[in-house]
A and B are shown apart, each in its own frame.
Chain A
Amino acid sequence: GQQLNQSPQSMFIQEGEDVSMNCTSSSIFNTWLWYKQDPGEGPVLLIALYKAGELTSNGRLTAQFGITRKDSFLNISASIPSDVGIYFCAGQLGDDKIIFGKGTRLHILP
């Protein structure tokens, strides 16, 4: 079945650094979603992408829908302590069910 490869699995960065994570797939998608999950909570939608090549920002977050429709990346600029959590990518093709990546766990060192 379809799978998403999300990397890295975890990251340790200094506060203030920029962060980059990505998802790749062997299949094409026509929607890419990025979620963040805080400890003890459910995932919260950060950014939704609907068109190949689309670049969308939400505050310090920027995500892009890869031109091949098989990948997407999420960047976080000038990280702050509340950015800690698990970031999930998710892809969908047509009316098929959404497929989630395994997540990238972000740790921020003081």
Chain B
Amino acid sequence: ETGVTQTPRHLVMGMTNKKSLKCEQHLGHNAMYWYKQSAKKPLELMFVYNFKEQTENNSVPSRFSPECPNSSHLFLHLHTLQPEDSALYLCASSQEVPGLGVNEQFFGPGTRLTVL
């Protein structure tokens, strides 16, 4: 138990569906992240929210839309996805200290997404 929870754990959706992934962190951190994990590839950073503001969007297609209503919750809204978007989507959080650059990220268990 890392203090970061994700729901659902598994999701199967069609290409025309709209769904949302949810992440919640109970660690009092001020930064949250979405990563995509595909087989045999490094973890791919998608979005970073720091103090509730999006500070990074790593050239992610617009069919993925993040939302961070507060520092404890992070959503990833999905619509018109493609089969190649099937992957494990991981949420992480960390306590950012400006200027220190130390960034120990704590990960949730992930949502296994399958797009048919």
A88-B43, A100-B42, A102-B41 known; A45 and B56 CB under 8 Å?
no
13 contacts between A and B (CB under 8 A): A33-B104, A42-B2, A42-B109, A43-B107, A44-B2, A45-B104, A88-B43, A92-B101, A96-B101, A98-B103, A98-B105, A99-B42, A102-B40
B10's nearest neighbour on chain A, judged by CB, is: A40
A95-B101, A97-B56 known; A41 and B48 CB under 8 Å?
no
**B48: which of A33, A50, A97, A102 is its contact (CB, 8 Å)?**
A97
A100-B42, A102-B42 known; A42 and B4 CB under 8 Å?
yes
Contact A42 B101 (CB under 8 A): no
Range, interface on chain B: 20 to 34
Contacts of A43 in B (CB 8 A): 43, 90, 107
Contact B102 A45 (CB under 8 A): no
Contact B42 A4 (CB under 8 A): yes
Contact B41 A31 (CB under 8 A): no
Instruction: Summarize A's interface: helix, strand, loop or mixed.
Output: loop
Number of interface residues of A (CB under 8 A): 26
Q: Among residues 88 to 110 in chain A, which have CB atoms less than 8 Å away from a CB atom of chain B? A: 88, 92-103
Contacts of A45 in B (CB 8 A): 104-106
CB distance from A79 to the nearest CB of B (A): 23
Contacts of A41 in B (CB 8 A): 109-110
- B66 close to chain A: CB less than 8 A: no
- A68 close to chain B: CB less than 8 A: no
